[in-house]
Homo-oligomer: A and B are copies of this chain.
Amino acid sequence: MASKKQITVGGVLLGGGAPLVIQSMCNTKTHDVPATVAQILAMEQAGCHVVRLAVPDLEAAQAIPAIKKQVHIPLVADIHFDHRLALEALKGGIDKIRINPGNIGDKAKVKTVADACKAAGVPIRVGVNSGSVDADLREKYGVTPETLCQAALRNLEQLEDCGFFDTCVSLKMSNVFGTVKAYRLMAEKCDYPLHLGVTEAGNEHFGTLRSAAAFGGLLVDGIGDTLRVSLTADPVREIYAAKDILKALDLHTGGARIVSCPTCGRTQIDLIGLADKVEKALAKLQTRMTVAVMGCVVNGPGEAREADIGICGGRGEGLIIRKGEILHKLPEEQLLPKLIEEIQAMTGETL
């Protein structure tokens, strides 16, 4: 289930029933402030809610204030190995710290970071990856969903021992089955917000498919509060991929979702062309709605019934159907203009 606990990342709510938060990560050198700012602004434009920056050295940490001044979404510092970089990022006004506790060092260092985060009101993500499970767990049990979960719990407890509870958690594996199992286990064992992701997901095409398969398997059970689609691609593409996956799951907050049937021997209109035209014509729609584009009289009218509005094509002509009610019967070429006209009337938007 969606986490019971809610945290706040620079004003953005995470968990506890808040809308799903889309994240990505810059691939610029963080110390190159103009390049990093330009990339973050492009991500904001695409719909990113929270963005992470690599902080591999002091120069990167010290660039944070200059970056923050020029962007509008919360920033997360990605910290590995050196806990002092987390402290420097906090000084620079960072909104969240991601640590991979397996490589941050001893308890005293973790406590120093937790105390500083607590003082600043900054949450921490415990980010466990299949590549960085604690060596003792890995050697004993191998890299499994269970060991990722154990590694995460161990590190959450370490933070809890410091009196720190302002936490979210991720457990990324590079395969869908393992990722789903790890998050299901975690959702049973804690009520911290869960940050979903598949690590090393692959290029844009396969990475998006892998993420869709894993997020589908989790979100259908209400598991997950924020997500990142990791792609070996321009990070702005990760935002579009994330938004598309949410649309595919009907978890998008605005815009048209087109349902259209596969063409088959029964289809008597140019359905592929029509579906593409409808998608383009509605690209700017803000109101959330489902629009059906159906090619035949067998399943069309029945399945268009679930949509807010739809076209159902027959032989050279078709129907406009709204919530199951036939509004118009028109020649094929008049279907699209009339559909747009009706949607404009329903939403008050100009398309």
Contacts and interface: CB of A to CB of B under 8 A. Distances in A.
Interface stretch (A88-96, A175-183, A334-342): A175-183
Contact of A176 (B234, B248, B305): B248
A181 B216 CA distance: 12
B260 A203 contact: yes
The size bracket of the interface on A is 35 or more
A301 interface: yes
A308 interface: no
Contacts of A19: none
15 contacts: A26-B264, A27-B264, A130-B306, A131-B303, A132-B298, A132-B299, A143-B305, A202-B259, A202-B275, A206-B258, A209-B247, A209-B248, A213-B215, A213-B217, A217-B220
A53 B131 contact: no
Interface in A192-237: 199-203, 205-210, 212-217, 220, 230-235
A262 B30 CA distance: 16
A200 B312 CA distance: 12
Nearest to A268: B29
Contacts of A25: 262, 264
B213 A303 contact: no
Main secondary structure, interface of A, reads mixed
A150 interface: no
Nearest to A80: B298
Given A132-B299, A299-B131, A265 B216 contact: no
A203 to B, nearest CB: 6
A261 B199 contact: yes
Contacts of A28: 265
A27 B206 contact: no
A62 interface: no
Interface string A12-49: 00000000000001111110000000000000000000
A283 to B, nearest CB: 13
A161 interface: no
Interface of A: 25-30, 53-56, 60, 78, 80, 100, 103, 129-133, 143, 174-177, 180-181, 199-203, 205-210, 212-217, 220, 230-235, 238, 244-245, 247-250, 257-267, 271-272, 275-276, 279, 292-294, 298-306
Contact of A258 (B29, B202, B292): B202
Contacts of A249: 176-177, 210, 213
Contacts of A302: 129-133
B54 A264 contact: yes
B203 A258 contact: yes
Nearest to A218: B217
Nearest to A27: B263
